[in-house]
Amino acid sequence: MSEPLLCALVLGASVVAGLLGSLTGLGGGVVIIPVLVLLFGVDLRYAIGASLVAVIATSTGSAAAFVREGFTNLRIAMLLEVATTAGALCGAVLAAYLPVPALAMLFSLVLLYTAYTTFRSRVADHPDLPPDPLATRLGLNGHAPVRGADGAPGTKPYFPRRVPAGFAVMFGAGVLSALVGIGSGVVKVLAMDRLMQLPFKVSTTTSNFMIGVTAAAGAGVLLHRGQIDPRLAAPVAVGALAGSFIGARILPHANVRVLRVAFATLVALAGVQMLIRGVQGVMS
């Protein structure tokens, strides 16, 4: 395959990855890595590096719109980013000592767990709870945009809970992000939604804001190590950015249920293939 043709195909695949990442709030890494490894034969370590660049582009492409609309809680994002960035730096260091088959098996488990959580129905926003003292002292309480019964725009207050537990989970999400080259958005969303009891839309948009910073921390280490190939990362970044912009435009008109089922099925199939490849690498 000629290099221009390969670049064009990677660009097209990255547009799809960025589109799906923007629509689901999980980042594009869970799509672009299997595509690069399984379809284009890219080494997993270079695919992880390119994927981190794609996650940065996806986050950049949609984060500004979510902040402007008032969904993203910037104070929560900045607090939890301390944990995820530290975790990403630790994960990037650990990745140098883990064999490729082990990384492939770890990534396959992440894919399968992502598929499982995507198949599940979205949990309803949590009922009003009294303010948490620690969250109140840190200024984390906020208001989420809502629409009334008559369609008029308004806001609804929410109060984060279990801030220390959420902080600890975010460190693990950062490690996972650097190890397998994703934004680990599914871990962050689950932590904010289930542990901290934020409204679901606040969880997804705040996670989308955070994944770019987390990925940037890991990408810096990989760039220093020479595991980011500009010839591969450039079309991935451009395609993911374009896809994220497209996703932000079509999201209001998308059938969320069909989209989630299709995405989960794709991720599950890729997870099984990556698991098989990892097992074969260990046994060979």
The pLDDT value given to residue 102: 76
Asked if 48 contacts 222 with a C-beta cutoff of 8 angstroms, the reply is yes
* 3-class DSSP state of 145: strand
pLDDT digits over 208-242, tens only?
Answer: 788 777 777 777 777 888 888 888 888 998 998 88
From 77-81, 111-115, 124-128, the region with the lowest mean pLDDT:
124-128
What is the distance between the alpha carbons of residues 105 and 228, in angstroms, rounded to a whole number? 21
Per-residue pLDDT at 163? 93
Closest CA to 77 of 258, 264, 263, 202: 202
SS3 content of the chain, % helix, strand, coil (to 5): 75, 5, 20
CA distance 162 to 34: 35
Distances in Å between the Cα of 32 and the Cα atoms of 13, 139, 146, 170, 232 are 7, 37, 33, 23, 12
**Collapsed DSSP state (helix, strand, coil) of residue 154:** strand
Amino acid 165: pLDDT:
92
Q: What is the mean pLDDT of residues 78-83?
A: 90
Does the pLDDT at position 164 exceed 90?
A: yes
Residue 268 Cα distances to 57, 79, 276, angstroms: 24, 32, 12
- Can you tell me the distance from the alpha carbon of 215 to that of 89, in angstroms, rounded to the nearest whole number? 10
CA–CA separation, 31 and 24 (whole Å): 12
Report whether pLDDT(127) > 60. no
| CA dist., res. 18 & res. 59, Å (int) | 9
